[in-house]
Amino acid sequence: MNRLVRRMRSLPLRSRLALLVAVAVAAAVAAVAVTCWFMTRAQLQAQMDSSLRSSQVSSQYLRLLAGSCIGGSDQALPPVGNYTVQIVTTHGQSCTSADQTAIPVQAGDVAVADGERKNALHTTDNADGTAMRVFTYQPGPTAPVLQDRYAVSMAQPMDEITKPLTSLAWVLLLVGGIGVLGATAAGLWIARTGLRPVDQLTEAVEHVARTEDLTVRIPVEGDDEIARLSESFNSMTASLASSRELQQQLIADAGHELRTPLTSMRTNIELLTRSEETGRAIPPDDRKALMASVKAQMIELAALIGDLQELSRTGLNGTDGPLKVISLHETVRAAIERARLRGPELTIEADLAPWYVRAEPAALERAIVNLLDNAVKFSPEKGTVQVALMRGTLTVRDHGPGIPEDELPYVFDRFWRSPTARALPGSGLGLSIVARTVEASGGEVALAAADGGGTVATLKLPGAPTPPPEITEQPA
């Protein structure tokens, strides 16, 4: 059985489907044929038994047969249709016409002769080995009287049933074989037709694997499983194409952003190297400025590489772990403490109401820290940053120079930096990370000009159904 299963699995899907169809049709044809054969046999047997019961010989024939038996004559009697007629005595003896073959006497026949039973019906073989259907009955009152009580047996050869049944079996076998062959051919055609979309999908997948062409699309016809599979493949290739485009854009933007600090750093390092090689000392003030520039460029490169690593960890979904129910106000409070370390001269005012959300804890804290860093970076010296959380809406307001109205649509794009802020440290990825993390948690974020100057960042996150049981409320 296991070998058969393994052999089946080694066949192509099309062949397996055709074989399964053929097996199913063969089983159905065999069941119908066997049922038809048994029903026909039962009907023919019933007809033969009915014929035997209704076909009793005349008293005149019984007299001739009895006289022949008593006189020991071997005279042939006229035939009674295709029946074999014999007399059965209570002693188990039988008498048959000379031209007919005797039939072995059964116990039931003797019981009928003794009057214990009215009749008996059975199947036996005669002296020639021919199967016979035998009906034994008690003769009527007009029958001749013999010395012993007797019964009359009438028999008919079973060939009248077996021959038609044999012919029927061959016909059923022939028709069934033709049906199975036809079903196999139909199964192959159905499998070929039904699996044509799968073949197209296979060709498309092989084409994508061979050429890496993600623009391939499969035509979708209908709304069955194959159509849904085609739609899923098209959606997958579209997502992969979009992901590749984003990756290429990210690589191009990262290369562009890395080129400027690397070029500047290489120039400064070449100046220092040339000074060492030629022995021409650089003035102390100029050397100090060069070293400060190299240090700033290294810090800028480190920040850019760190942001790129963060993007690679979080991927396109903006998270690098499962979503959990967390306390947003506690997360904001922790982010504020980190922001205070970056701008100790600033005042950060916080008004945080309890709120719980479903998010990835580390990713959400990074996003809030980026928002606060952005506010700290653009705040004036000894300025104030106001942070408020109310019913899932977090606002971070600074009192810096603000963002021009025409630049607001681009603030969340990767590597985008305002022309007025290019002199400040940063990679242009912080707000992009914020936007993707918030969207992954089902929220939204926006920047706008604040009344009275500065910028206000608004972050909205839907609340979780219930707070996590392990969180214990602490006063804000």
Mean pLDDT value across the chain:
79
| pLDDT value at 388 more than 90 | yes
Separation CA 44–CA 344 (nearest Å):
109
Residues 322 and 424 in one domain: yes
CATH of the domain at 243: 1.10.287.130
- Strand residues in 256-346 grouped as ranges (E): 324-327
Count CB-CB contacts under 10 A for residue 64. 18
Q: What share of the chain is helix, strand, coil (3-state, %, to 5)?
A: 55, 15, 30
What average pLDDT does range 212-235 have in this prediction? 79
- Calculate mean pLDDT across residues 343-360: 86
Q: Is residue 219 part of a domain?
A: no
**Statement to judge: residues 36 and 182 lie in one domain:** yes
pLDDT of residue 111: 92
pLDDT at position 8 is 57
Judgement on whether residues 26 and 170 belong to the same structural domain of the protein? yes
Convert the pLDDT of each residue in 51-60 to its tens digit.
Answer: 888 887 887 7
Question: So what's the pLDDT on residue 260?
Answer: 61
For residue 80, pLDDT beyond 80:
no
DSSP per position, 90-145? TTS-EEE-TTS---PPPHHHHHHHTTS-SEEEEEEE-TTS-EEEEEEE---TTSPP
Domain that holds residue 263: 225-312
Residues 153 and 275 in one domain: no
Report DSSP state, residue 453: S
pLDDT at 318: 47
pLDDT at 474: 46
421-427-430-431 Cα dihedral, nearest 10 degrees: 50
E strands, 370-424, in order: 384-390, 393-397
What pLDDT shows up at residue 51?
87
More confident site: 460 or 404:
460
Torsion of CA 305, 308, 312, 316, to 10 degrees: 180
Q: Is residue 210 in some structural domain?
A: no
- Do 180 and 32 belong together in one domain? yes
pLDDT of residue 52: 87
- pLDDT over 60 (residue 473): no
Residue 394 pLDDT class (50, 70, 90 cuts): very high
CA–CA dist 379, 401 (Å, integer): 8
Q: What is the pLDDT of residue 24?
A: 85
pLDDT tens, residue by residue, 421-465: 555 555 566 777 788 888 888 889 888 888 888 889 999 988 876
Kindly state whether residue 473 falls inside one of the protein's structural domains. Answer: no
pLDDT band at residue 365 using 50, 70 and 90 as cut-offs: confident
Last residue of a domain, one of 268, 294, 312: 312
Query: What 3-state DSSP class applies to 350?
Result: strand
Give residue-wise pLDDT tens across range 438-448: 888 888 988 88
For helices 328-342 and 361-378, the axis angle rounded to 10 degrees is 40
Burial 443-458 (b: 16+ CB within 10 A, else e): bebebeebeeebbbbe
Residues 322 and 437 in one domain: yes
Q: Is the pLDDT of residue 75 over 90?
A: no
Question: What residues does 388 pair with on adjacent strands?
Answer: 351, 395
**End-of-domain residue from the set 287, 312, 337:** 312
User: For 164-188, what is each residue's pLDDT tens digit?
Assistant: 999 999 999 998 888 888 888 887 8
Residue 7 lies in a domain: yes
The average pLDDT across 105-123 equals 90
304 & 344 share domain: no
pLDDT at 383: 86
Mark out the alpha helices in 55-155 (DSSP H runs).
59-71, 107-113
pLDDT given at position 450: 84
Instruction: Provide the CB-side half-sphere exposure for 290 (13 A, CA).
Output: 16
CA 321 and chain centroid, separation: 26
- Does residue 220 lie in a domain region? no
- Answer yes or no: is 234 within a domain: yes
**Would residue 68 count as lying in a domain?**
yes
Kindly state whether residue 93 falls inside one of the protein's structural domains: yes
Residue 98 reports pLDDT greater than 80: no
Average pLDDT over residues 390-405: 87
For the residues 241-265, what does the mean pLDDT come to? 71
Distance between alpha carbon 387 and the CA centroid of its chain, in Å? 49
Q: Check whether 2 has a pLDDT greater than 70.
A: no
Tokens (6 digits) for 307: 């942001």
Q: Provide the number of structural domains found in the chain.
A: 4
Judge if 420 and 308 occupy the same domain.
Answer: no
Has this prediction a pTM greater than 0.85?
Answer: no
The answer on 76 and 19 residing in a single domain is no
Amino acid identity for residue 102 in this structure: A
